Amino acid sequence: MNHSIHSADRATHMKIVLVALVAGVIVATLGMVARSNVEYSQTVQVIKAGKPVAITSSDNSMLR
């Protein structure tokens, strides 16, 4: 059993590389599966401008 990566032998390095490779493939696969299940349908909502409105902070009527 090697407690340091510097003193590890070739088999230990290969195990680390293989575990990292398998974990990377699993994460990438899960990401692709999660993305392919989402539907990206977009609807356009048109907002038309109405009459100008004067907004005040009081309830008094505005006189012009």
- At 35 the pLDDT is 73
Res. 59 pLDDT band, cuts 50 70 90: low
Position 62 pLDDT exceeds 60: no
- At 1 the pLDDT is 64
- At 27 the pLDDT is 95
Q: Which residues contact 9 (CB under 8 A, 6 or more apart)?
A: 2
Residues 27, 21 contacting (CB under 8 angstroms): no
- At 5 the pLDDT is 73
3-state secondary structure the chain: CCCCCCCCCHHHHHHHHHHHHHHHHHHHHHHHHHHHCCCCCCCCCCCCCCCCCCCCCCCCCCCC
**pLDDT tens sequence across 9-52:** 888 889 999 999 999 999 999 988 877 666 666 777 888 888 88
Report the candidate in 15, 20, 19 with the shortest Cα–Cα distance to residue 2: 15
